[in-house]
Amino acid sequence: MSTDDKNRAIAAAILPLVGGAGNISSVAHCMTRLRLGLRDRSLVRDEALKALPSVMGVVEDDTYQIVLGPGTVARVTPEFEALVAAGAAQAPAHSAEELADRGAALKAARKAKNATPFKLFLRKIANIFVPLIPALIGCGIIAGLNGLLINLGWLPGVTPALAAIASGFMALIAVFVGYNTAKEFGGTPILGGAVAAIIVYAGVAKVEVFGQALSPGQGGVLGALGAAVLAVHVEKWCRRRVPESLDVLVTPTLTVLVSGLVTIYGLMFVAGEISQGIGDFADWLLENAGAGAGFLLGGLFLPLVMLGLHQALIPIHTTLIEQQGYTVLLPILAMAGAGQVGAAMAVYLKLPRNGSLRRTVKSALPAGFLGVGEPLIYGVSLPLGRPFVTACVGGAFGGGFIGLFTMLGDKVGSTAIGPSGWALFPLLDGDKGLGTTLAIYAGGLVVGYLVGFAATYFWGFSREMIEEFDVDAEAVAASAPVAAGPGATGRDPEPEPEPAQA
């Protein structure tokens, strides 16, 4: 089977299990998940969906999220969209309305429960930066390769070109942030990009604000974000008040002019001070309380992910990369995934009779080593409860290990955001040479693996949990109809659900 046929088959298997084309209101994807807007949540067959070999897990938030893994999700999504479009074209005209009516109450209740104003705001911020991650990764890897070639003295005629390729995106990242910000907040994207472009324009060096000359790029991505949000508000104000006959001339002009002046004479300076403060605080925190700060960050990152609060870190990472060339926080946070891997290996050894759960662990571990933690979190540790906590303990010790070396003067950073685990090695950078940086990060992973394993093996299970989960669930399910006999209803009783089925 060709790759296209395989991806089409995955999409075709998923579609009927989420209620068919008529039940899909929106389709999107991030790095690992297919994100679906559903009209009627009750039409989704969760267990059948989780049983698909290509599905690593599901997550419910404001959208229904199916974990397919990096690479796969980007290829399956277009096939899924094509099937949805074809199904919608063939469906009766009234089917979508019927589904919408049936699912309206469920959808409203779910949104009321999960869509708090703060979380909605954080999702908007994340939606601005997530589309930039592929470029950050690609340019970060090229920058690392270029640094290696320079240190080795190889290809001196090529390294300047590689430097230009790696740095071009970062030089203009404010423009992309402005464009995405305006798009996300309901304005005209190109106007947001135009206002944000002022920040990186070399001519701002001739402008003095508060007695100081501005610097191109001052304020960075935070300034671009603020400038674009302001542009959206100015644009919306103009749309409400400017006559339609003049709108095409007046609205964009006033939007760029007003927002541009405020950006130059206010936002660039303020955002620059905030950005500088973020960098200085991160350096101070890890230099003076590195082990303790790393312990807390590594241990609390997964709970932050569960609450959706990790999205607040994305602009902080991007600001640090823009300022220093790398973010010192990401390698510490990546230790949370190491704790999950160690915990999963302990679960595998602790429950030798649970064949279903052991298969889930075996299938999810390769992705876990590469930093994709959803299959292990949602398929193994979180359903079991205590192993999730002990996995966080492993992440805390791994983070503390890296934080300790930062206190000793050996910084470990990442030139991009997104990857984790072993996939982060090509993006690592620091201030004491590549070999030292790689060794410290590898040591943190090993500590996370070992502590996560030990904490889970010795303290992750109570006696009652062992009795409940260390059973052959498939054998129990197969023997259940025989033991019970034919039911009075004339149908076989349903087998017991498998614990922690991925």
The C-alpha atoms of residue 425 and residue 438 are separated, in whole angstroms, by 7
Angle at 456 between CA 453 and CA 458, to 5 degrees: 105
CB-CB contact of 68 with 10 (8 Å): yes
DSSP 493: P
What's the angle, vertex CA 35, arms to CA 30 and CA 40, rounded to 5? 170
Q: How far apart are CA 230 and CA 257, in angstroms?
A: 11
138: left (phi over 0), alpha (psi -120 to 50) or beta: alpha
d(CA 391, CA 373): 11
**Tokens 């919408």 label which residue?**
100
Q: Could you list the active site residues?
A: 30
* Cα first-last separation, the chain: 25
Residues 6+ apart with CB under 8 A from 487: 493
Phi and psi (nearest 5°) for 354?
Answer: -85, 85
Contacts by residues 493-496 (CB-CB < 8 Å, ≥ 24 positions apart): none
